[in-house]
Chains A and B, each alone.
Chain A
Amino acid sequence: MRVISQKRMNSAIMVAIFLAGFVVFHFIGRYFVPMLAYTRHEQPVDFSHVFHGNDVDMSCETCHFFYEDGSWSGIPTLDVCMNCHSEQLGESEAEKVFVTEYVQKNREVQWELYFRQPQCVSFSHSSHVKEAKLACETCHGPQGLSRHPTKYIVNRITKYSYVVYDSASSTIGSALVRSPEENVWGTMGMDECAKCHRARGVSTACFICHK
């Protein structure tokens, strides 16, 4: 048998202890405190899609629409909101905050957007909505049915953000980890795009999305 020096033995033990510790703490983290990997941001304004859509009876296109050149408006900017909210209309606390903090100070609301894409991606809403006839919910989830804005959850390491559409759920953390397909709508990461493209038989060539 080969003689192993005391020094090498010691360093082997150190490595083994480190690896054992890594495995133990990885599993503790993964199954007992999974939300440590995520930071959670509240949205700045408590916006209700249901109130605007059902109670005020506005159509989605009032705020989310295609411009004439085929580009997508996205989240409305302050001037769209100010078409109605130039002063307070109702009595809700959320609107009061919105009017005093943003409208009167002429400050854009810094929404936490989980669908922001990196610079190297060119996503065309019109190709997905007009040509492929996808419903908004396919990627965004049932956002239109939310009474409170969805929370913004972002992985500290990967920086991927997740939208959890059931914002009333108190078990958001465990939902994210245990049954993502039921409660979490998606990451808007490249894997999700590629998965859907593959499932529908659309090209997955790089230049389809990347620029």
Chain B
Amino acid sequence: MSTESPQQSVRYGMVIDLDKCTGCGNCAVACHMENNVPFRTDESDKSRNMAWLRIYKVKNGAEYPHARVAYIPRPCMQCDRHTPCVSVCPASATNYDKSTGLVDQINTRCIGCRYCMAACPYMVRCFNWWDPAWPADAEKYLNPDVAPRMRGVVEKCTFCSHRYIQAKNRARQEGRNYLEKGDYIPACVEACPVEAMHFGDLNDPEYEVAHLIKSPRAFRLLERLHTEPKVYYLSSHEWVRRWADNDAVNTQSAYSQQRQGVES
């Protein structure tokens, strides 16, 4: 369990540029395919459906011609400090890996109490209300590196930790005991067509993300909770930042203030 903000060498994190994101949903589809996330015939019930990466659409609340939209792709935030899901899990089924900063889920250990789902401020976690069922042909496309989950357990985004294991295998084969830039990338980042998503070690200046998180455009979701997420967002719009802090009331005023600033 992580109690303090750890100062370890490797901390994998993600930076998503909301100014570039078009909300196309490629990352979400790639995530579904990569991680064998089950789906239902009718996906309209969003309180029951499964998604490791959801895309939220936010509006600035203004009327045409000033109406603006932004899309916020939301994987697991991989909280660094007081990781809420880890600290509440009674079965130790979820863990903070101090060597990488990844929050992993051991599905076979989960007892399905859903305490972590209540604790997670980002609604990242999904519960398997049914045994996953795939159409006959779709089973052939399942990823053999990710174990399908069963009814009654919680699952979540792991930053494609199986890809981390594969990257380490490849590195060892090449005689390295470290990962090089680009060895390990989650499926969503790989799939982004506009390169709005960046991934890497936040502590290593060789990675772009280490610089991007210091940008004045950078912010995180619900920062005032101080869970220190390792997923950063970039936006030049104040109203988007207000949304990220769940401050819907001030969204429109933030937008009009910024617009006046630009016009004057």
Q: A residues within 8 Å of B by Cβ?
A: 66-71, 118-120, 122, 124, 126-127, 130-131, 205-207, 210-211
Contact = CB atoms under 8 A, between A and B. Distances in A.
B166 A69 contact: yes
B95 A131 contact: no
A42 to B, nearest CB: 29
Contact of A207 (B161, B173, B174): B161
A207 B97 contact: yes
A70 B170 contact: yes
A211 B162 contact: yes
Given A206-B93, A211-B165, 10 more contacts: A66-B173, A70-B170, A122-B145, A126-B172, A127-B168, A127-B169, A206-B92, A207-B97, A210-B109, A211-B162
Contacts of A206: 92-93, 95, 104, 106, 109
B229 to A, nearest CB: 19
Contacts of A66: 173
A120 B147 CA distance: 5
Nearest to B149: A120
Contact of A130 (B92, B145, B162, B172): B172
Interface of B: 92-93, 95, 97, 102, 104, 106-109, 145-148, 161-162, 165-166, 168-174, 177
B169 A119 contact: no
B97 A205 contact: yes
Contacts of B169: 69-71, 124, 126-127
Contacts of A67: 173
Contact of A211 (B97, B146, B173, B177): B146
Contacts of A69: 166, 169-170, 173
A176 B107 CA distance: 33
A179 to B, nearest CB: 32
Nearest to B102: A207
Contact of A131 (B145, B165, B172): B172
What 4 pairs between A and B have smallest CB-CB spacing? A70-B169, A70-B173, A119-B147, A207-B104
A124 B97 contact: no
Nearest to A66: B173
B124 to A, nearest CB: 17
A66 B177 CA distance: 17
A127 B177 CA distance: 10
Contacts of A124: 165, 168-169
A21 to B, nearest CB: 35
Contacts of A131: 172, 177
A195 B216 CA distance: 50
A68 B108 CA distance: 31
Nearest to A68: B173
A130 B106 CA distance: 26
B141 to A, nearest CB: 16
B173 A130 contact: yes
A134 to B, nearest CB: 13
A116 to B, nearest CB: 13
Nearest to B93: A206
A118 B165 CA distance: 17
